[in-house]
Homo-oligomer: A and B are copies of this chain.
């Protein structure tokens, strides 16, 4: 099994080192790793945030473990050269259309959430976000209006095949959980959403065991604060998913804890912490490695057929937290290394 390690920028490399230590402890040398630069690091080294060599490695690999991209030194570059384009480029080139983001409060961390503990404790949901369509990848640009004004535009669109395949992932995910799927759209305003909703309802016919409902995105954002415990699986488009999944992450406390998977049609995936490159704390040994470690666990489960090993890592993370290990984002003083050591000790 070949895993592509793409550490990227900021705290990306530090957290991937710890994820790798945990993988080594669990799997020994069952996995082969190859590393390549991505994001700002790749721009500085090779003039492009997603060099061909990196993309080719990602194509060859069975799975990709990704750190984070984002580098203030690249802020003034034209958009196509900025670090974030690497992750957009990988999603698109590899057809990683299904982003899975579980959000569940670790019982020990009820105090880390901004929500009241009794509300936060009820959270146990998965957001299924479409990742290769929507206004992210439609035609876009600058043009002049009839009055000679500068205008920026981006075309939002989904076709039925794109909606159908993400709908199936949503229903399949719900089927393995509480069998409740909430589709989020803005069908009272958007034609894209109306098609989205129509196709969701069509696909629902194949999943009579799953209860489907629909929420407008503004209402969903409200409900995620008011009573997030009501959700099991949420399926939504690329743009709404970007917003709601970050909002949901914050509801369970630190974003330093949350992993994500981005899957193609055959289950190959890219795994990354949902946190960013956090340049302000990079290189100081302060970053929380748990999101990266949990991303590695997701990789074992979804792409490498090692569900039992994934369970083992997740249990060790819970045990490390129960034992009191806390990085700064959780109000503690443990270093990145010490936090990972606590996980290794609990394996």
List residues of A whose CB falls within 8 A of some B CB.
79, 82, 84, 88, 114-116, 119, 135-136, 138, 140-142, 145, 147, 149-161, 186, 188-196, 217-219, 221-227, 239-240, 242-247, 249-251, 255
Contact = CB atoms under 8 A, between A and B. Distances in A.
Given A218-B243, A222-B246, A224-B247, 4 more contacts: A114-B226, A154-B155, A217-B243, A226-B250
A218 B247 CA distance: 7
A3 B63 CA distance: 63
Interface centre among A222, A251, A255, by most chain B C-beta atoms within 10 angstroms, is: A222
Copies of this chain present in the complex amount to: 2
B161 A157 contact: no
Q: Which of A145, A147, A153, A255 has the most CB of B within 10 A?
A: A153
A222 to B, nearest CB: 4
A150 B160 contact: yes
A286 to B, nearest CB: 18
Given A114-B119, A150-B159, A221 B221 contact: yes
Contacts of A161: 147, 149
Contact of A222 (B186, B222, B226, B247): B247
A319 to B, nearest CB: 27
